[in-house]
Structure 1
Amino acid sequence: MNEALEDYEIHDISHVEKDLLEPLGTKSKFWYSSNGDEFLFKSVESNNGIRFGEDWAEKIACELAHLLGLPHAHYELATYNNKRGVITKNFISERGEQLMLGNELLETFIVSEDGNNPNIQYVDDVYKIMTNTVINKPIGFSSLKEIKSASEFFVGYLMFDALISNQDRHNENWGTIITVKGIKHLAPSYDHGASLARNISDEVRHNRLTSNDRGQQVTQFVLKAKSWFLNRETRSRIKLLDAFNEYALMEQEAAKSWLKILKELDDEKVYHLISRVPEVLMSQVSKDFTFKLIQCNKSNLLALNF
C-alpha cells in the first residue's frame, strides 16, 4: 500500500470577496461566489480556538463517501489568508429551493417530549420524519438496490457515521431540501469535520497503534464514539454503533444493502485516499491511525446481526 499518489490540492481563495457570513455553528465560515456558483469556506478556526484536523477529516470523509456511493456534500482543502479550512459548493442548486434542518423537522417531537431542548433527537422520531415527512431520496443521486427512499438512504448516513467515528450528527447536521414545488428530499450528508478522531494528538495515536495493552488499542478506542441520538430513559447519548443498529432494525433490507457495499469497499483504495492528504496538513502517524480506525469500525459494523 505504498504506491505514491498525487496530493490533494489546497486551494488558495485569499482573492475572493466574502458575500455573507454563515451564522450556524461555531467555526469561522463565509459564503463567496465563483463562476456563478456559491461556495462556503469553513475555517478550522472557531470561537474556541483552532481545531486542527477538521480540514483533512472533512476531505477524507468526502472521498470515502464517494467510494461508498453515499450522497454527500463535496469538499476541497483550502486556505484563506493563511487560514486552513475547506470549501464546499452549495448543494441547494435551484433558485427557490430551501434547506430545512433536523431541529425544525423535530420541533413537534422536541416540544411535546422534552420542553424544547434544542439537542434532543431519538432514533425512532427521526425514522418517523424520514418515512412520513421527508420521504424522497436525495436530489441527483440514483436509487440503489433496496435503497430508494429518504429513510433507506439515511440509514446509510448512520452507517457512515459509525465508519468514520463522526460524533457530530446533531439535529442541525441533517435535513431536507424542499423544492420550488414543495416536494421534500433528504439532503446529502454534510459536515463531517468532527470525525476520524481528528482532535487527538499524534503521541496518543502512536501509543494506541503500538500498545500491547488491549484497552489502549484502536480496536477498543473506536467503541467509545457516541452519537447525538439519545436513550429515552437515561437521556444520555448512545454509541454510534447502537444508533445505526437501532435504525437498521427498522430498515433492515436497506441496512443490509449498505453493509454489503461496505464489505466490498477496497482497503487499498481507502488507504490511498488517506495518503493523498498533504503532509503539511496530516502526519504519517495520523494517516496510519486514521486507516486503522476505519478498518476497526468497518469490522465492527460487519459483525452486526439484525
Structure 2
Amino acid sequence: MEEALEDYKIYDISHVESDLLEPLGTKSKFWYSSDGEEFLFKSVESSNGIRLGEDWAEKIACELATLLGLPHAHYELAIYKGKRGVITKNFISERGEQLMLGNELLETFISSEDDNNPNIQYVDDVYQIMVNTVINKPIGFSSLKEIKTASEFFVGYLMFDALISNQDRHNENWGTINTVKGIKHLAPSYDHGASLARNISDEIRNIRLTTKDRGQEVSQFVLKAKSWFLNRETNSRIKLLDAFNEYALMEREAAKSWLKILRELDDDKIHLLISRVPEELMSPVAKDFTFKLIQCNKLNLLALSSNL
C-alpha cells in the first residue's frame, strides 16, 4: 500500500536575476546563478502562449526517470514573478565541457536533399552515432546490468519516451557532452515537458477515462503518440513504440534489461509520485488520466519483449 508523502515543493525564485537568455526553443527561459552553481528556469509561457502542464509533466517525468535509474536532468517545480515553470541545474558540471546536440552529430548523415528539413533523424543513423561517435555512458551515472555504453543507455531513453508519451525527442533534445580531454559521453535525458498528454483538457481526459467507446479509451489514445524519428521511405514520423522497437532490435540485451527494470517498477510507486504534484498545478482527473496513460504505455512496452 502506498504511503502518502508531502507535495513537491514549488520554489519561488522571483528574487534571482537572469544571467543569460536561453536561445533554444520557444519557451521563456533563462539561466541564473545560485550558491556558485548555474540553474535554468523554464516557464510554461512561450511565444505561442501558455503551455499549462509542462511544469508538472517535467517533474513527474523526472521522478519516474529516477525510479528507473535512467540518467536525466533533475527538475523542481518553480515560480518566477507569478510565472509557473521548473528549474534545473546545469548538467555541464566541469569548466570546458561542451554540449553537442544531435543535429550537429547528424550532419554527416544528412544528404543535400534533406537540408530543408532541420528535424531529420533516422533510428539507424542515431544508433551509428551512439556506437561509433558518442560511445561512453552519461557522466556520473553507474552502469547497469547489460547497460554500459551510450547506445545501451539511449535505448532506455527511447523506452522512457514511449512510457511517458514524450513526442519531443527531436534532434536538439539529445546530445553528447564533450569533456576537456575530448572524450564524448551521452548527455542525460532532458526536456520532457511535452509528455504525458499535458496539453489536453480535463474534459477530454474525463471522457477517455469513462467512455464505453473502445476507440476513445486511453489504451487506444496512447497508440497514436509519434516520435521525431522518420520513416526512410515516407519521411513521416514513426510511432514512439516503433522507434523504441527499431532501436531495441539493434540493442537487444540492453533493451531486455530496460524492460526488466520497467516490469519490476511497482504501480503504487508511480501513483505516489503523481499524487505529490500540488493540486493547484494538476487536477485530480489529470492525475488519474496520467497514471492510466503510464500504465497503458507500460503494458504496450512489455508486450514488445517477445520480439527481442
Decide: shared fold, TM above 0.5. Answer: yes
Deviation at 1:67, TM superposition (A): 0.1
Are 2:72 and 1:72 aligned?
yes
1:58-97 → structure 2 map (5 Å cutoff) = 58-97=58-97
1:176-215 → structure 2 map (5 Å cutoff) = 176-215=176-215
Report the equivalent of 1:36.
36
Give per-residue Cα distances to partners, 1:68-97, cap 9 Å, x unaligned: 000000000000000000000000000000
- Residue identity matched to 2:150: A
- Residue identity matched to 2:247: Y
1:276-295 → structure 2 map (5 Å cutoff) = 276-295=276-295
In structure 1, distance between residues paired with 2:186 and 2:2: 38
SS in 1 for 2:24: coil
Report the equivalent of 2:252.
252
Report the equivalent of 1:134.
134
Give per-residue Cα distances to partners, 1:226-268, cap 9 Å, x unaligned: 0000000000000000000000000000000000000000100
In structure 1, distance between residues paired with 2:204 and 2:3: 27
The size of the alignment, in residue pairs, is: 306
Report the equivalent of 1:163.
163
Segments of 5+ residues of structure 1 without an aligned counterpart are none
SS in 1 for 2:153: helix
SS in 1 for 2:87: strand
Query: Does structure 1 retain, via aligned residues, the 8 Å contact 2:2–2:268?
Result: no
In structure 2, distance between residues paired with 1:113 and 1:39: 39
- Residue identity matched to 2:98: Q
Report the equivalent of 1:239.
239
In structure 2, distance between residues paired with 1:124 and 1:2: 41
Give 4+ residue runs of structure 1 displaced > 2 Å after superposition: 1-4
Deviation at 1:117, TM superposition (A): 2.1
Deviation at 1:111, TM superposition (A): 3.6
Query: Does structure 2 retain, via aligned residues, the 8 Å contact 1:110–1:116?
Result: no
Report the equivalent of 1:272.
272
Deviation at 1:2, TM superposition (A): 6.9
Query: Does structure 1 retain, via aligned residues, the 8 Å contact 2:2–2:269?
Result: no
SS in 2 for 1:297: helix
Q: Quick check: 1-10 or 289-298, which moved more?
A: 1-10
SS in 2 for 1:301: helix
Are 2:45 and 1:45 aligned?
yes
Give per-residue Cα distances to partners, 1:27-85, cap 9 Å, x unaligned: 00000000000000000000100000000000000000000000000000000000000
SS in 1 for 2:185: strand
Query: Does structure 2 retain, via aligned residues, the 8 Å contact 1:134–1:184?
Result: yes
Report the equivalent of 2:117.
117
In structure 2, distance between residues paired with 1:241 and 1:24: 27
Report the equivalent of 2:57.
57
In structure 2, distance between residues paired with 1:27 and 1:271: 29
In structure 2, distance between residues paired with 1:194 and 1:25: 12
Query: Does structure 1 retain, via aligned residues, the 8 Å contact 2:27–2:45?
Result: yes
Superposition TM-score, scaled by structure 1 size: 0.99
SS in 2 for 1:303: helix
In structure 2, distance between residues paired with 1:110 and 1:51: 32
Query: Does structure 1 retain, via aligned residues, the 8 Å contact 2:58–2:192?
Result: yes
Deviation at 1:112, TM superposition (A): 4.6
Query: Does structure 2 retain, via aligned residues, the 8 Å contact 1:168–1:192?
Result: yes
State the percentage of identical aligned residues.
88
Superposition TM-score, scaled by structure 2 size: 0.98
1:96-111 → structure 2 map (5 Å cutoff) = 96-111=96-111
Segments of 5+ residues of structure 2 without an aligned counterpart are none
- Residue identity matched to 1:123: V
- Residue identity matched to 1:124: D
